[in-house]
Amino acid sequence: MAMMTAAIDGSDAPAKPAGALSRIADVEVLQDLTAAEPVWRTLQQPEQLSTPYQRFDLLAAWQRNVGAAAQISPFIVVARDADGHPLLLLPLGLERAHGLRIARFLGGKHTTFNMALWQQDFAQRATAADLAALLDGLRGHADKADVLALRQQPQSWNGVVNPLTLWKHQPSVNDCPLLIIAPGASPVSLISNSFRRRLKSKEKKLQPLAGYRYGIARSDAEIDAVLDWFFAVKPLRMAAQKLPDVFAEPGVAGFIREACLAKLADGGRAIDIHVLQCDDEVIAIFAGVADGQRFSMMFNTYTLSDSARYSPGLILMRNIIDHYAALGYSAIDLGIGSDDYKRLFCKSDEQVFDSFVALSARGRLGAAALAAATRGKRLVKHNPALMRLAQWTRGALRR
């Protein structure tokens, strides 16, 4: 019990050494995306540290379409140094649940990884004193939020340790399957020759289709056409699996379309759509975010036609891996969860963590409850017997 108490009171951050100085001189909470945009875009530049899931274009689209509909209001935390230069930005949203004001990362279930946007040098040098100062500053805004519920944070990104690991944290419910691409990796080191031969044999059945090809949807018209197909097919796929259609939830389709169409400064899109198709139909898609070093998948589906017999999703994944390996990327992940197809490509696991931090007195029980619920879910997910029982129960309730 003492350990749980430590995780929800003032010891969420490491004890600040006596006399230790922090570079953080001010912590501000912005409740408007427009006001936050200039700092946000500064900290998402390639020379700084952030994941592509926290790009302004992606999360602003999510907030406009999904967050606002769910009555989530922006809670954008900006920490600055004594000269007013931004050191970090936490892209959070505030919602009311269980009588508490809970601040979570914007993006909800649609972002695999959640992380602050950091000034690179500050991220590499951040100390316990800095993280204690950030928490002190947040508690100065406790009239706005009671709890931070910061889920699915990567331990590190592009070789830099996530400074929020200095706060008390625990493993997330699921890990993330990961394919690490060593510099100059040969194709066979990423996908074995035997697996490639199997996929090539299947692909021979598709290659006679007129206009058969792999590519990335580039133009607005291409993106719109592919998404029209996706939103028609995905609900049918999910219904066949007896799964709820998360893309039918309020605002989700609008968010996906807006983010896929959003143009970045480098000419790319906030979400890239990889497509396997022929002249008559889209055969499979994988969509995700890329930042020059890593590709992370967000959503996918494949055709309902006879072409589905030839594993088009696996063929498309092979093309994606070869594409990013040729560009010198260092990693590809296929999203949180342990679906069987992911293990065909991803041999490593990336651990992600959650932090539940009380900002007010009434937030302490809430932080403890959220942390306990997450530990319980992880226990079920990582215990085959409990997982089978949970799946049976869910199935029985749907009958």
Same domain, yes or no, for 80 and 191? Answer: no
Residue whose C-alpha is closest to residue 303's, from 244, 236, 224, 220 = 236
Same domain, yes or no, for 164 and 227? Answer: no
Q: Which of 308, 329, 348 is the last residue of a domain?
A: 348
Q: What's the per-residue H, E or C state across 76-90?
A: EEEEECCCCCEEEEE
Q: Assign 4 a pLDDT band (cuts: 50, 70, 90).
A: very low
Quick one: average pLDDT of 373-387?
75
Query: Which three-class secondary structure state does DSSP give residue 202?
Result: helix
Query: Which three-class secondary structure state does DSSP give residue 8?
Result: helix
The DSSP letter of residue 110 is G
Residue 77 scores a pLDDT above 90: yes
Q: Please give the Cα distance from 244 to 253 (Å, whole number).
A: 15
DSSP structure string for 291-325: -SSEEEEEEEEE-SSGGGGG-HHHHHHHHHHHHHH
Q: Please give the Cα distance from 216 to 303 (Å, whole number).
A: 17
Q: Assign 143 a pLDDT band (cuts: 50, 70, 90).
A: confident
How many domains, in total, are found in the chain? 2
DSSP structure string for 165-185: GGS--EE-SS-EEEEE--TT-
Same domain, yes or no, for 160 and 237? Answer: no
Same domain, yes or no, for 235 and 189? Answer: yes
Q: What is the pLDDT of residue 386?
A: 55
Q: What is the pLDDT of residue 338?
A: 72
Same domain, yes or no, for 321 and 216? Answer: yes
Q: Tokens representing 389?
A: 């029982």
Contact 31, 63 (CB under 8 A): no
Strands 294-302 and 331-333 come out as: parallel
Residue 396 scores a pLDDT above 60: no
Residue 2 scores a pLDDT above 50: no
Residue with tokens 């010198």: 328
Q: What is the pLDDT of residue 385?
A: 62
Please give the backbone phi and psi of residue 55, each rounded to the nearest 5 degrees, phi first.
-60, 145
Residue whose C-alpha is closest to residue 152's, from 355, 298, 15 = 355
Q: Which of 348, 370, 386 is the last residue of a domain?
A: 348
Q: Assign 336 a pLDDT band (cuts: 50, 70, 90).
A: confident
Contact 125, 22 (CB under 8 A): no
Same domain, yes or no, for 323 and 202? Answer: yes
Q: Which domain holds residue 37?
A: 2-172+352-398
Taking the C-alpha atoms of 376, 379, 382 and 387 in order, what is their torsion angle to the nearest 10 degrees?
A: -70
Q: CB 372: neighbour CB atoms within 10 A?
A: 13
Same domain, yes or no, for 327 and 218? Answer: yes
Lowest mean pLDDT among 45-49, 238-242, 327-331: 238-242
Same domain, yes or no, for 142 and 226? Answer: no
Residue 1 scores a pLDDT above 50: no
Q: Assign 234 a pLDDT band (cuts: 50, 70, 90).
A: very high
The CATH number for 283's domain is 3.40.630.30
Same domain, yes or no, for 149 and 206? Answer: no
List the Cα angle 394/108/125 in 5-degree steps: 125
Same domain, yes or no, for 317 and 334? Answer: yes
Residues 6+ apart with CB under 8 A from 203: 310, 315
Contact 308, 302 (CB under 8 A): yes
Contact 181, 294 (CB under 8 A): no
Contact 123, 154 (CB under 8 A): no
Same domain, yes or no, for 144 and 288? Answer: no
Lowest mean pLDDT among 111-120, 287-296, 334-343: 334-343
Q: Assign 84 a pLDDT band (cuts: 50, 70, 90).
A: very high
Where is pLDDT greater, at 390 or 141? 141
Q: Please give the Cα distance from 342 to 334 (Å, whole number).
A: 6
List alpha helices for the chain, DSSP H: 2-8, 33-43, 56-62, 120-125, 128-139, 187-190, 193-203, 220-240, 252-261, 312-326, 340-343, 363-381, 384-398
Q: Please give the Cα distance from 164 to 116 (Å, whole number).
A: 9
Where is pLDDT greater, at 90 or 336? 90
The DSSP letter of residue 11 is G
Quick one: average pLDDT of 271-295?
97
Q: Tens digit of pLDDT for each residue in 185-205?
A: 999 999 999 999 999 999 999
Same domain, yes or no, for 162 and 188? Answer: no
Average pLDDT, the chain: 91
Lowest mean pLDDT among 239-253, 257-271, 323-337, 379-393: 379-393
Residues 6+ apart with CB under 8 A from 77: 27, 28, 29, 30, 88, 89, 90, 92, 138
